[in-house]
Structures are given as structure tokens and as C-alpha cells.
Chain A
Amino acid sequence: TQLLEQSPQFLSIQEGENLTVYCNSSSVFSSLQWYRQEPGEGPVLLVTVVTGGEVKKLKRLTFQFGDARKDSSLHITAAQPGDTGLYLCADLTSNTGKLIFGQGTTLQVKP
């Protein structure tokens, strides 16, 4: 059974600070996705990475995929209160849309 570990589990920072969230898998990812979720809502897709070593940027967010395709990081530059939420990495394990989620990182950005 695949295990996805995220670290840290909780993070509370001040507005303007930078942060990095990590995701490590016990096995090679089929296709890695990062989501952000707010309480009581469905997760929102941020990015999909497939190729080892891939780097993608989405405004202030930078996603890196490890060369061995077993780890990933999400870096946020100059965090804003609107970045507050639960960040989830997930393995898209089939073309039917089956997702295995990591443990999640709860981010709080204080103004």
C-alpha cells in the first residue's frame, strides 16, 4: 500500500514569509498532483507533474518533482493570508481518476 508523507503537518507563518512543503512517497508516483482545500469544500487542483525533475511555477508557487519521481516540494514565496488552507499532494494512480492523498499540510498565514 502506497504511503504519502507530507511535512510539516502544520505551519503557521507571517504574511510575506516564504515556506516549503514536502511530499514523499513510498513508491514511484504515477502522476503527482498538488491540491489546496478550504474547510467544507472540495480540493482545488494546483498542478500536475509527471516527469522526474520537472519544475512548474504558478504565480508565487513553485512545484518541484524529484528525479526519481518519489518526492516533491511546493514552495510559496511571500505568503499571503489568502494562501491559508490545507495543501495536499496526491498520486493519480489510474486514468479513471483514482487519487491517493498525502497526509496534508495545514498552512496558516497571519496578516
Chain B
Amino acid sequence: GAVVSQHPSRVICKSGTSVKIECRSLDFQATTMFWYRQFPKKSLMLMATSNEGSKATYEQGVEKDKFLINHASLTLSTLTVTSAHPEDSSFYICSATGPGNTIYFGEGSWLTVV
């Protein structure tokens, strides 16, 4: 069945470095994907809409230069957290709409910045 896969599932990086998270739709094409951020015991907060072949649309308050989104193909969107700081530590999760307008979520990626 349709699946959305994220990689890596867990990553630890040092402050000041950048880290990339991938979101792939495995057997369907997605012109639009979404990136969410979630703090422990909190809800999912929409960060941005990833648009294939064009710039991402960021939600109010989300720094586009901090969270770089690239949607270079119909099956892959990437989120790069640049110059990471400990406060960027969070659970990041993507979603895409597949066949039958079903929303599929990735497995999520835990980012820890030390």
C-alpha cells in the first residue's frame, strides 16, 4: 500500500551544524507534502507546505532561512535544519496525500541538537 517514509528516524547533531531529513512517497507521486514539528506531549504544528518544483510556503513564525525545504522530485521532499541549536531539538514529521485523498504520515524523525 501507499507509504511515506522518513529518514533518518533519529539524528543527533552538534550545535551550529546542519541536518537534513528526507520524506519520500514510496509508491505514489506527491506534488505537495507537509512538514510538521512536535514538542514532547504537544500537538503537531504545521511548519510549511512543500511544493514540487517551486518554493515552499511557510507558516507564520517559521523561519524559511532556518528550515530549508526542497521538493525536487514528485516523490521526495527534504527539510534541512541549518545552524541547529538545542531549541531546534524536536520530533519532525511529514505527510503527503496519496490515492483516494488519503493522508499518509511519515514515521517521524527525532532531532537532538547537543
A residues in contact (CB < 8 Å) with B: 1, 40-43, 45, 86, 88, 92, 95-104, 106
B residues 42-86 near A (Cβ < 8 Å) are: 42-46, 49, 60
Most chain A CB inside 10 Å of its own CB: which residue of B36, B45, B105, B110: B105
CB distance from A74 to the nearest CB of B (A): 15
With CB as the reference atom, state the residue of chain A lying closest to B43.
Answer: A104
With CB as the reference atom, state the residue of chain B lying closest to A4.
Answer: B43
Q: Which residues of A contact B32 (CB under 8 A)?
A: 96-98
B residues 94-110 near A (Cβ < 8 Å) are: 95-97, 101, 103, 105-108, 110
Question: Which of the residues B41, B103, B106 comes within 8 Å of A86, measured between beta carbons?
Answer: B41
With CB as the reference atom, state the residue of chain B lying closest to A103.
Answer: B43
Q: Which residues of B contact A86 (CB under 8 A)?
A: 41, 43
How far is B45's CA from A43's CA once the two chains are assembled, in angstroms?
Answer: 13
Contact B34 A99 (CB under 8 A): yes
B residues 16-49 near A (Cβ < 8 Å) are: 32, 34, 36, 41-46, 49
Question: Which of the residues B45, B60, B103 comes within 8 Å of A97, measured between beta carbons?
Answer: B103
CB distance from B22 to the nearest CB of A (A): 15
How far is B43's CA from A106's CA once the two chains are assembled, in angstroms?
Answer: 10
Q: Which residues of B contact A100 (CB under 8 A)?
A: 46
Q: Which residues of B contact A96 (CB under 8 A)?
A: 32, 49, 97
How far is B60's CA from A101's CA once the two chains are assembled, in angstroms?
Answer: 15
How far is B9's CA from A41's CA once the two chains are assembled, in angstroms?
Answer: 10
How far is B95's CA from A99's CA once the two chains are assembled, in angstroms?
Answer: 10
Contact B108 A97 (CB under 8 A): no
Question: B93 interface residue, CB < 8 Å from A?
Answer: yes
How far is B106's CA from A41's CA once the two chains are assembled, in angstroms?
Answer: 8
With CB as the reference atom, state the residue of chain B lying closest to A43.
Answer: B105
How far is B97's CA from A44's CA once the two chains are assembled, in angstroms?
Answer: 14
Contact A40 B108 (CB under 8 A): yes
